[in-house]
DNA sequence: AATCTCGGCTA
DNA sequence: TAGCCGAGATT
């Protein structure tokens, strides 16, 4: 057993240092210390700066990883559905490498990490406890360009293909489509919380509101 | 200060 | 219309 659990501080994911020059500070901000459970993260398609507003396809998340609660290695999750299931229960049911045996026989804390959070993708940490969407509904996260006022947008796609952009829209939609309510769909099954980018300056900071700042 | 909301711009 | 984003409101 090479590494098993170090009591190591919680978080940190990477032992591989991240390449990023990171001037700045802070350490880790990246990894949400999440109390005791593993953290979650989502990675996006590679791409550094594709500058410009080339109107292309929206940037969506295509890689899902979860951190083992014991050895802190990150493990790839094979599908969005599985990822949503894990995320929903991450607190009560912390993720362990062994859980990945379900889709990757032989997986354990002794298996080396195969995904690294290097500079080839945009990485972001998800909030824990986001409910998985009702059957046939899709929760869609679209990453914004670097330098925007926020990191991403979260949308829900209804079974009929409509896009809903806020909890108010969800509520109205359910009112107008009692069918879903009868099926048991409720507003509590939706969350528009967006992930947090690991790269600290991905989102543009707003100029501080000058208030009492004396000079 | 960070996140949420929502409305509007543009291709 | 879909994709994108700013910025006021809220926490």
Does the CB of A196 sit below 7 A from strand B? yes
Residue A24 lies in a domain: no
Domain of A138 in residue numbering reads as: 40-197
Residue A10 lies in a domain: no
Residue A17 lies in a domain: no
Q: Which nucleotides of C are covered by protein (CB under 7 A)?
A: 2-8
Question: Model's pTM, two decimal places?
Answer: 0.76
CATH number at residue A88: 3.30.890.10
CA distances to A67, A116, A203 from A113, in Å = 10, 7, 29
Q: pLDDT by residue (tens digit) across A54-80? A: 445 678 888 888 889 899 888 999 988
> How far apart are alpha carbons A162 and A95 in whole angstroms?
33
Residue A160 lies in a domain: yes
| Secondary element (H or E) of residue A180 | helix A178-182
Residue A103 lies in a domain: yes
Phi-psi category of A184—alpha, beta or left, where left has phi over 0 and alpha has psi -120 to 50? left
Question: Would the CA dihedral through A185, A79, A194, A69 be positive or negative?
Answer: positive
**Smallest CA–C1' separation from A146, nucleotide:** C5
Total of domains in chain A: 1
Residue A60 lies in a domain: yes
Determine the distance between A167 (CA) and C2 (C1') in angstroms: 20
Determine the distance between A137 (CA) and C5 (C1') in angstroms: 25
Nearest residue (Cα to C1') for C3? A58
How many CB atoms are located within 10 Å of the residue A86 CB? 22
Q: pLDDT by residue (tens digit) across A169-206? A: 898 888 888 999 999 999 889 999 988 888 888 888 87
- Mean pLDDT, chain A, whole residue set: 72
């Amino acid at each position: 057993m090479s590494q098993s659990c170090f009591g190591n501080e919680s978080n940190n994911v990477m032992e591989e240092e991240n390449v990023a020059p990171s001037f700045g500070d802070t350490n880790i901000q990246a990894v949400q210390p999440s109390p005791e459970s593993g953290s979650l993260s989502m990675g996006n398609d590679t791409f550094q700066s594709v500058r410009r507003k080339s109107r292309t396809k929206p940037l969506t998340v295509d890689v899902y990883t979860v951190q083992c609660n014991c050895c802190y290695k990150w493990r790839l999750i094979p599908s969005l559905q599985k990822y949503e299931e894990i995320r929903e229960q991450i607190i009560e049911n912390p993720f362990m490498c062994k859980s990945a045996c379900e889709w990757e026989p032989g997986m354990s804390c002794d298996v080396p990490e195969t995904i690294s959070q290097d500079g080839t993708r945009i990485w972001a940490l998800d909030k824990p406890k986001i409910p998985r969407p009702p059957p046939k509904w899709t929760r869609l996260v679209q990453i914004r360009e670097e330098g925007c006022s926020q990191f991403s947008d979260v949308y829900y796609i209804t079974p009929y293909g409509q896009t809903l952009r806020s909890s108010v829209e969800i509520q109205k939609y359910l009112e107008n489509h009692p069918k879903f309510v009868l099926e048991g769909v409720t507003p509590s099954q939706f969350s528009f919380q967006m992930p947090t980018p690991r790269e600290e300056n991905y989102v543009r900071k707003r100029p501080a509101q000058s208030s009492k700042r004396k000079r």
